[in-house]
Chain A
């Protein structure tokens, strides 16, 4: 099932499929959010609209606008 990254919760795993917004896609990829990367959501604070992601050894913080521009596939928790 594909969904926006902003819909996930703390502790979820997902795989990046694509990006909706070209204006930030370049930066997201350059920062290490590559397509097909597996992402662990360390913290998803929907009320405060911030998301703390772990991709391999990389940690990235996103706001809701950025998180909702990433289309992901939810993975079974490891």
Chain B
């Protein structure tokens, strides 16, 4: 039987681990990482030269085994917990050769843990390390050192061969500080309790520090500083030998930084980038969106023409296809959103944004790193909330978690895109600026301001004496690696299609049944009454069709009318109410539900665009259009604040270790959404 091994990629942030992971695993990744900081482990299959496949894990980048933030603790827990499934049989320690100095400290700590290790020097294409220096590192750490490039693929085969050979030999090399006396003495001097019967190696030393952190924090801190300083002293000689004459950053990099972190120019450039992103979401995505929409219309017509009349054809044309198209047509917009976020992260710009906004964020009880969560929240709240693991201050982290879902995410995109049409005309300013794109930017600015205001209020309620920490490494600017950007964007788009697609597929089937069937006697009586009324009042057919009477008396219609009194003050009818309920688990389902409900009552043979279909809907009592400015604005406001996303609730529960905060968040958001929506409708109507 082939033994399964686990290989962990470890290293400092920005060392090139994730690029190596992508290059080694290709499309064989189990779970997706997201644009932003790697804050969770991700695993994939690594196919070795001998044909066997082994598990490879990419761990969050960290500077030291003395963890401060949650993402660093994830790293140290996996490395120290021998019972963990992810505990490595082998560590592949990735070093960015541009800054070898600081990366040797963690390497020395990992080496002392006795786990077999290989050192992989990244970026061979940009910074080739000379063989003498490679030998120096190899001799010091008593392990193989391989240089590679994720961009060109050079050195990857050698690296795989080295990993395979070390796994096969199963040899654990001696530690740097093998003698247990050093750690024993240190614990004794600091007065930290330990089990004297145990072998006090580095692993046990770290476990003692971890367990004593709460009770003896000052002694533990002293131990950590001492450990770090001693290691630095030990590797100082090696660092000196490895340093080359060129210890300077190219002047162009500093010149770019002086502009991008400038309090005024930096803000102007950031605003311009955001403007470009939202314009592109609306303008560039229009052509592929139209093509997708036409594709669905064409497919619906083909199905309607060639399939024999049956319940199955009805289910496809009035249930599944409108539901799915309601979601899929928005994929181009989501693609552009994730593309820009990914490029900002890959190029090194995102960390400048953190630096630029730290002061302002602290005014609202947040942290500079909250900016990453708030920007990523524009794509999806789930990875954004997980990215808060890099914030060490609990209060700042909690507030970021609580307000991030207020930022308009990609799941709201379909809802806004559909409804903006009823509020803003399709004008172009100066020939290029799309009016709906501007409105879209306005919605994002408004939701960001609302999130900041909520953060400010929460910062006055939640008390903490912990200090705010920035300590941020700002990587050099570089051209984004196309492969990394492509992986990130593909992962997110795939997740959107599969996750939202699964839900809308099931809901479309259920909704089609609930809107197509109902109590027979009630439906017949209603239809009879309608026909009689039409005889006396022929103009009624302009506002109400036979199909809408049947829909009103379907199972969904009856259920919807029960909730109508609650949502009527917001300008919503029972059909919108049904869509609000079905989208409770995921906002994007709202559009698919509307498509299914309105398609089921549409008497036209032609399959129409959803916005056209909705624009025709009138209130049978008043004869006024249902999707007018007031209702559409009220709906946008509702979706801006409502926490219609069960995945967000689940991730908040996980990140806050309990139900208290997700429940407070859910109730608070729902109440806020109702009130804001009510005010909007009452003012505009």
Contacts and interface: CB of A to CB of B under 8 A. Distances in A.
A29 B359 contact: no
A43 B468 contact: no
Contact of A22 (B63, B225, B248, B473): B225
Interface in B217-247: 218, 221-222, 224-225, 228-229, 232, 243, 247
Given A29-B105, A43-B258, A60 B263 contact: no
A62 interface: yes
B363 to A, nearest CB: 10
Contact of A60 (B249, B354, B471): B471
A32 B99 contact: yes
Contacts of B468: 63, 65
B396 to A, nearest CB: 12
Contacts of B249: 54, 57, 59
Contact of B101 (A48, A49, A56, A59): A56
B218 A31 contact: no
Contacts of B263: 45, 48
Contact of B261 (A23, A27, A52): A52
B218 A50 contact: no
B102 A58 contact: yes
Contact of B474 (A28, A29, A48, A61): A61
A77 interface: no
Contact of A57 (B98, B228, B257, B359): B98
B101 to A, nearest CB: 6
Nearest to A45: B263
A45 to B, nearest CB: 7
Interface in B239-282: 243, 247-249, 254, 257-258, 261, 263
Interface in B574-619: none
Question: Which applies to chain A's interface (DSSP): helix, strand, loop or mixed?
Answer: mixed
Given A26-B225, A29-B229, A63-B358, A50 B258 contact: no
Given A22-B222, A29-B229, A45-B263, A59 B476 contact: yes
Contact of A58 (B99, B224, B232, B355): B99
B470 interface: yes
Nearest to A52: B261
Given A22-B222, A22-B225, A61 B99 contact: no
B228 A31 contact: no
Contacts of B351: 61
Nearest to B355: A61
B127 to A, nearest CB: 10
A29 B368 CA distance: 21
A49 B473 contact: no
A27 B474 CA distance: 15
Given A23-B221, A31-B473, A45-B263, A61 B354 contact: yes
B504 interface: no
A50 B363 CA distance: 13
Contacts of B647: none
Given A60-B474, A66-B470, A54 B66 contact: no
B211 interface: no
A24 B471 contact: yes
A32 B257 contact: no
A59 B260 CA distance: 14
B64 interface: yes
B467 interface: yes
A27 B64 contact: yes
Contacts of B63: 27, 30-31
Contact of A26 (B64, B101, B247, B368): B64
Q: Tell which of A22, A35, A54, A61 has the most Cβ of chain B within 10 Å.
A: A61
A30 B471 CA distance: 11
B344 interface: no
A66 B358 CA distance: 13
A15 to B, nearest CB: 15
Contact of A62 (B66, B243, B362, B471): B471
A62 B98 contact: no
A45 B355 CA distance: 11
A58 B248 CA distance: 9
B105 A52 contact: no
B373 interface: no
Choose among B98, B243, B471 the residue with the greatest number of A CB atoms under 10 Å from its CB: B471
A35 B232 CA distance: 9
B135 interface: no
B467 A65 contact: yes
Interface string A34-78: 110000001101001110101011111111011000000000000
A54 B258 CA distance: 12
Contacts of B258: 42-43
A60 B358 CA distance: 14
A62 B63 CA distance: 16
Contacts of A3: none
7 contacts: A30-B228, A31-B63, A35-B229, A42-B258, A43-B258, A52-B261, A54-B249
Interface of B: 63-64, 66, 68, 98-99, 101-102, 105-106, 218, 221-222, 224-225, 228-229, 232, 243, 247-249, 254, 257-258, 261, 263, 351, 354-355, 358-359, 362, 368, 467-476
